Amino acid sequence: MVQAKGDAVSLGTVAITGAAGTIGCVVREALRGEADRLILLDRVPLRREAENEDVHTVDLRDVAAVESALAGADRVLHLGGVPDEAPLPDLLEANVLGTHHVLEAARRTGIERVVLASSNRVTGFYPTEHLTGPQDPVRPDGLYGVSKAAVEALGQLYADKFALSVVCLRIGSFENLPTEPRHLATWLSPRDAIGFIRAALAAPASTRFVTTYAVSNNARRFWELPDPAELAYTPVDDAQLHAADIPMPDHPADPGAPQAGSYALPECTLKHLRP
């Protein structure tokens, strides 16, 4: 349960799946001093780095192992899964079935909040001129986007049917610094990523289901920032401050080009389909 500790807020016991991943490592370090306990899951072995950490080597496809590892958690940050375009069977198994197992564990063990890592790529075929919000129908740019749309649908189902509290974060381009033209719109800085995740974990208990884009406050962004009434975090970083260091910063010039950039090209998916 989230409790005030002076000016700080304790998040109780937080479980993080995919804790060895790029975002998982950053969040693990950031939350170590805010959570009473961290339960860290990944399919690769993890080393315990603090007294309040418990580590588990878990394959998310193993429903019993997932439920056992998550026992005692107050809230879960679900980052685990295949993070990019891949054959659909692999994405369904790791992303969709793995998410189902996490949500089932939450339902069965009484976990208060599940934060699901979705992706901006569930709407990658909207044009860059369109300010896209979570109310827009999904337009996946590939099979990975399809799997994340299914992840969001599972979250909605568990919120509606089982009254689980679920927050879906459509994560932008998580990088230390923006390095390519698309990042000027899509960059999610580590500082803002932590801010979004902290706010999602600590959202009021009355929160039932929320989907929002997790993106820095980029002047060129083409995604809506969250309604403060739904998620109390306003991002602070802007990729535009790094534009001078990026080659061809005004590419693409076509306002009708897909927001996904190269991810929307047929070649991105064709290599994962049967010949």
- CA torsion, points 74, 78, 79, 80, in degrees to nearest 10? 120
Dist CA 101 CA 64 (whole Å): 9
| Contact in structure between 246 and 181 (CB atoms under 8 Å) | yes
Q: 158 an active-site residue? A: no
CB neighbour list of residue 116: distance below 8 Å, 6 or more residues apart = 78, 99, 151, 152, 155, 166, 167, 168, 169
Tokens of 183: 């990042």
Q: How many residues does the chain have?
A: 275
H or E element at residue 151: helix 143-162
CB neighbour list of residue 109: distance below 8 Å, 6 or more residues apart = 67, 70, 71, 72, 73
H or E element at residue 78: strand 75-78
| Contact in structure between 258 and 252 (CB atoms under 8 Å) | no
H or E element at residue 91: helix 88-91
Candidates 126, 144, 213, 233; catalytic one: 144
Dist CA 11 CA 228 (whole Å): 20
Catalytic residue list: 144
